[in-house]
């Protein structure tokens, strides 16, 4: 069993920055592809950024050039650096861990952290 705990959300003005963290318990972190997703009220959950266990990254079109995803295997933590924040970035941000251990797929979600971009 893996627990994912997000932190770092909050209220920020447009143009500001935040860094989200997702700390993973358990010993599957190194086997996991990690992702950040967000869900705004009335909208579907969407991929914000992902980073594979090998370090390859991908981003949603709306955040390219503004957000950066990274991971620290020793700390079992994945980060999302968010710059030039816009009102439309307001959402609950969830961390996801996806992978296989001993041939068994795992897919875990954190509870989420609220990000509000407003003046």
Give pLDDT tens digits for 71-80: 999 999 999 9
Residue 103: burial class (beta carbons within 10 Å; 0-12, 13-18, 19+)? exposed
Closest CA to 44 of 91, 112, 98, 96: 91
Give percent of the chain with pLDDT exceeding 90: 90
Closest CA to 34 of 66, 4, 74: 4
Cα separation, 99 vs 114, in Å, equals: 26
Could you say which DSSP state residue 35 is in?
E
Least confident range from 20-29, 35-44, 69-78, 87-96: namely 20-29
* Mean pLDDT score, 7-21: 98
């Amino acid at each position: 069993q893996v627990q994912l705990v997000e932190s770092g959300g909050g209220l920020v003005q447009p143009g500001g920055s935040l860094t989200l963290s997702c700390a993973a318990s358990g010993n599957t972190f190194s086997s996991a592809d990690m992702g950040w997703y967000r869900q705004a009220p009335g909208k579907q959950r969407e991929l914000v950024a992902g980073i594979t266990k090998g370090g390859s990254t991908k981003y949603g079109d709306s955040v390219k050039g503004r957000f950066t995803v990274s991971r620290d295997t020793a700390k079992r933590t994945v980060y999302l650096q968010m710059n030039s924040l816009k009102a439309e970035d307001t959402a609950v941000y969830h961390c996801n861990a996806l992978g296989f251990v001993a041939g068994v797929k795992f897919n875990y979600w954190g509870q989420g952290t609220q990000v509000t971009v407003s003046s």
